[in-house]
Structures are given as C-alpha cells and as structure tokens.
Amino acid sequence: MPAADRDIARAFRTLDRRLALRRVDALGLRGRVAMALLGAIAAAFAYWQVHGPLGGIVRFQGPVAGARTV
C-alpha cells in the first residue's frame, strides 16, 4: 500500500473515531446508561437462548460436540 493510501486510511480512522466519540458524548449520562442497560439485556437474552440447547448437547454428546456446535 503506498504511503498516501496509508495516510488517507489513518485520517479516515481518526475521523471515524472522533465522530463516534462525539456521538457518545451527545448521548449524555442518561443515554449512556440506557445503552449499557440495553446491551446487558441483549447479552442476557442471547445467553438464555443459547445456554439451554448447548448444555443439552454437551451433556448428551460431550464437549467436542458442543465446541463443534459453537
């Protein structure tokens, strides 16, 4: 990759990072707490949906089958 392309890519990464930080700052404390809560709820839901079936696979077919499933 030529030096000019790397400089442009770095400039866009920096711009993207600054824009993301500006958007997070615009949320305020209440918005950040709400986003964290939504993320935690989504993670808990995903765990709940995956834990049961994966536990059954591991219990009856072994850990290798569980790893293959994941």
pTM: 0.60
The reported pLDDT for the residue numbered 2 is 67
The dihedral region occupied by 28, where left means phi > 0, alpha psi between -120 and 50, and beta the remainder, is left
The shares of helix, strand and coil residues in the chain, as percent rounded to the nearest 5, are 95, 0, 5
- Each residue's pLDDT expressed in tens, for the chain with a length of 70 residues: 566 778 888 999 999 999 999 998 898 999 999 999 999 999 999 999 999 899 899 999 999 998 998 8
The reported pLDDT for the residue numbered 1 is 58
Q: Take residue 51 and report the two structure tokens written for it.
A: 């834990």
CA 46, chain centre distance (Å) = 12
